[in-house]
Amino acid sequence: MAIVAQTSRFSKIAWPVVAWIVGLIFFFPIFYMVMTSFKTDADAVNPEFLFSFTPTLENYANMTDNYDYWRFATNSIITSVFATLFALVVGVPCAYSMAFSPTRSTKDILMWMLSTKMLPAAAVLYPMTFLTKNVLGVFDTHFLVIVVLCLINLPIVVWMLFTYFKDIPKDIIEAGQMDGLNTWGEIKEILIPLAWGGIVSTALLTFIFCWNEAYWTVRLTTIDAATLSKLIEGNRAPEGLFFGRLSAVSTAAVGPIIVLGWFCQKQLVQGLTFGAVK
């Protein structure tokens, strides 16, 4: 009751209004991009048509001709999906054993895994280029992008899964052992069904990170395995001539991910803070 008493009528109205304004300001650049994507290139740079214009789908229809969008999008999908899958295949058993049979070194291994994530990528730029181009010959292949995306996200995958698995009572797993399940059976029959929600949100978040990655995907590809990051980076300075079509391809590149992101806001906190904020 005390809280209600303190809330004046003014703040009852002003508070939501301010909150809405802040929300709209933050969303405005995205809105502006989406709006511009429905203008022709000529209208897009004409202040007269800033908010009143004849919407057109031309930019989306020509996206394949202008930018070869689908090739880059396919590369993004392939690399992100497989990188996420591999990270889970390696990460689930690892997090399982860490959560259910921790040893004295478990904590140190987890911390060490995190620390690999903190190495600045640029520091190993040349060795990576050299190794992949001249030694292994995998430069600009899907295989390389998948492996790299998988490895840079593996620490986060293990961490997130570990925090989910930790909450599952040990007794359930032990009961499975009594019933004569082997390790694989325990993971398949007990762990995965029980932690399904956690595994799915880990996968979604990893997928988003893979999709948005913009260092290695730009530096280790040229054409064959180039992702959407590379496509947009290559069109960085359109000199205002192509705002319409550039907005369309940008919208197509970020739209699905933003929607996906709305569904895993909660997991984002856990995934990015490694469970340190609750």
Partner 1 sequence: MANRTIPRILQTPAVILLLIWMLVPLSLTLFYSFIRYVLNSTVRPEWMTPSFSNWRGFGNYEFVLNSKDFWFAVKNSIFIVTSILTLTVVLGVLIAVLINRSFPGRGIVRVLLISPFFVMPAVNAVLWINMLLDPVLGLQGIAVNNINTLIGGLQDAPIVGWFFNMWPVFEPISFRATQTSSIAVIMMVTWQWTPFAVLIFMTSLQSEDQQQKEAAILDGASRWSQFRFLTLPHLGRPMAIVVMIQAIFHLSLYAEIEIVSRGNGNKNLPYLIGEFANNNIGAASATGIFAVILANIVAIFLLRMVGKTLME
Cβ nearer to partner 1, comparing 142 with 216: 216
Nearest Cα residue to 254 out of 69, 46, 51: 69
Q: Which of residues 2-41 bind partner 1 (CB under 8 A)?
A: 2-3, 6, 15-16, 18-20, 22-24, 26-27, 29-30, 32-33, 36
If one asks whether residue 110 binds partner 1 (CB under 8 A), the answer comes out as yes
Binding range to partner 1, per CB under 8 A, among 54-62, 63-71, 120-128, 189-197: 120-128
If one asks whether residue 269 binds partner 1 (CB under 8 A), the answer comes out as yes
If one asks whether residue 180 binds partner 1 (CB under 8 A), the answer comes out as no
Query: Closest approach of Cβ 224 to partner 1, in Å?
Result: 19
If one asks whether residue 168 binds partner 1 (CB under 8 A), the answer comes out as no
If one asks whether residue 85 binds partner 1 (CB under 8 A), the answer comes out as no
Cβ neighbours for 59, distance < 8 A, ≥ 6 positions apart? 37, 38, 39, 40, 41, 66, 244, 245, 247, 248, 249
Query: Closest approach of Cβ 137 to partner 1, in Å?
Result: 16
If one asks whether residue 101 binds partner 1 (CB under 8 A), the answer comes out as yes
CA distance 39 to 49: 9
Determine the Cα angle at 244 with ends 211 and 231, to 5°.
30
If one asks whether residue 119 binds partner 1 (CB under 8 A), the answer comes out as yes
Cβ neighbours for 172, distance < 8 A, ≥ 6 positions apart? 190, 194
Interface residue with partner 1 among 52, 104, 118, 222 (CB under 8 A) is: 118
Amino acid residing at 132: T
CA distance 134 to 179: 53
If one asks whether residue 185 binds partner 1 (CB under 8 A), the answer comes out as no
> Cβ distance 56 to 39 under 8 Å?
yes
